[in-house]
Structure 1
Amino acid sequence: IDVAVHRFPFCIVWSPIPILTWFLPFIGHLGLADSKGVIFDFAGPYTIGRDDFAFGAPTRYLQCQVAPEAVDQWDEALAAGCKIYEKRMHNLCCDNCHSHVAVCLEHAGYAGRTRWNMVELCFWVFFRAKYVGVAGFVKSWLPFAFVVVMIAVV
């Protein structure tokens, strides 16, 4: 992992979505990185971002355990998921970046599973992902803390 150049091999990456994450800090934007650490994300309707994460640099990451003999399968699964999602309309509630990551993990058979869903991914990343550093923590939580303080004051 090389945070400075945004390389996160075999990682699920997360960044806050302005306004939405400020009120619901467990909701953010997900992407998935290939074996070289290049991030792919379902960035919008019919759009797969490659090395251009939709909401800025990741603030959190969760590294998946991929065996050396499964590296090609990981990259092929990511390519297959991207091929599917580059033909899909983006829907904030039910066919989104989390769904894209879930489909990629399904194609990879990650953790011996053939079914993943966006809710599982949301909470798995929320509770298990590491911050890229202090700046990642601040970028993830400061807006929410500000909203909570403003509500408490008013």
Structure 2
Amino acid sequence: MGIATSRGIIRDFAGPYFVSEDNMGFGWPTRYWLLDVLKVPGKAEAYDAAIDEASEVYKGRVHNLFCDNCHSHVALALNTMRYDGKTNWNMINLCFYMLVKGRSISWCGFFKQWLPTIIFAGLLLAFFQLS
């Protein structure tokens, strides 16, 4: 998960002490949630400043797959900018918002996102039907 500045530059906490720019850790995005800078006090300037601040913080952190990762980086940026008047963004509600408000980039992106899950669920169902 990454977050783009108002100029479209994607920032992604991609590894220990590393926040990438326009080069995401797991490839190009397949899904996006379009944020509205009008929901940020201070508009685009405050939006970009919050992303810069969160990126500087995460350039000094070790990446942890379960506790302190790219989702945490985005949550810190949203909390810093007080996006939509909230300061309680976290990995869980970001996951929910991406599921509900996120849109696939294309049909190809949709299949890249969901096909592995569908195949895995199908294999599980087949396995339990045979047991």
> Same fold, TM exceeding 0.5?
yes
Mapped pair 1:41 → 2:41: no
Partner AA of 1:64 in structure 2: L
Q: Which has the larger radius of gyration?
A: 2
Which residue number in structure 1 is paired with residue 56 of structure 2?
A: 83
| 2:4 counterpart letter in structure 1 | A
Higher helix share: 2
> Following the alignment from structure 1 to structure 2, what is the Cα–Cα distance between the partners of residues 122 and 62?
11
In structure 2, the residue matched to 1:64 is 35
| Aligned equivalents of 1:117, 1:141: Cα separation in 2 | 23
CA RMSD in angstroms comes to 1.3
Unaligned runs of 5+ residues in structure 2 are none
Identity percentage over the alignment? 41
**Aligned length, in residue pairs:** 125
Q: Name structure 1 gaps, 5 residues minimum.
A: 1-29
Q: Partners in 1 of 2:92 and 2:33 — Cα distance?
A: 16
Establish whether residue 134 from structure 1 lines up as the match of residue 110 from structure 2: no
TM score, norm. by length of structure 2 = 0.90
Partner of 1:74: 47
TM-score normalised to structure 1 length:
0.77
Q: Where does residue 21 of structure 1 map in the other structure?
A: none
| Corresponding residue of 1:55 | 26
Runs of 4+ aligned residues of structure 1 deviating over 3 Å after TM superposition are none
Query: Which AA in structure 2 matches 1:103?
Result: L
Shift, 1:152, TM fit: 2.2
